[in-house]
Amino acid sequence: MFMEWMEWPWLNMILILLTLISFGYALYVKYKRSIFTREHFAFAALAAQTTITILAIHTITSNNPFEAISYFVSQWAHIPHPNPVMGSSDKVLVLLFAAFFIWVSKKMFLSWEGSKSTQQKHNELLHNSPSLAMEGIDELTRLLKRKPPREIYLFTQKKT
């Protein structure tokens, strides 16, 4: 019963859309790093990592997610739908792609050169190592509690 539910074409489409949206949002936050803090990027990157991991697990345990796209196209165009089978090398490639994406997003997080919150600056002064998961979860709880955005640290030099 569970495996039948996993093979519904619309589930694949939803997973693909969620992955693309979360990945696009993470890139948007990175691009607009002058207005977003590293904590907000951690939230976006954590969401993207989660969706790509779910998509990879679903792909390995079920079928190719792009099969759903070809299914809907074949239904729309009234042509027979081919049923391709993923080999083990395809599944390994999916795992490598997901691992690469997680590695890149972690590197982007660690090398953040955008705005910093006062909390992030305080942690840097205490030499606390940043954690993408913890900062992402902290930002998620802040958003869920509808608290105001974190105060951005402004560096001011004294003129002598």
pLDDT along the chain (160 residues), means of 10: 53 84 94 89 94 87 69 75 74 91 92 84 82 89 89 64
| DSSP 3-state of 81 | coil
* Burial group, residue 114, by CB count within 10 angstroms (0-12, 13-18, 19+): middle
| DSSP 3-state of 59 | helix
pLDDT at residue number 81: 67
> Which tokens in the block code for residue 123?
């942690």
b/e 52-74 (16+ beta carbons within 10 angstroms → b): beebbebbbebbbbebbebbeee
Q: Name 90's Cβ contacts closer than 8 Å, sequence gap at least 6.
A: 64
| DSSP 3-state of 36 | coil
**What confidence tens digit (pLDDT) does each residue in 91-138 have?**
888 899 999 999 999 999 988 888 888 888 888 888 888 888 888 898
pTM: 0.76
Q: Please name every residue paired with 117 in a beta bridge, in sequence order, or none if there are none.
A: 152
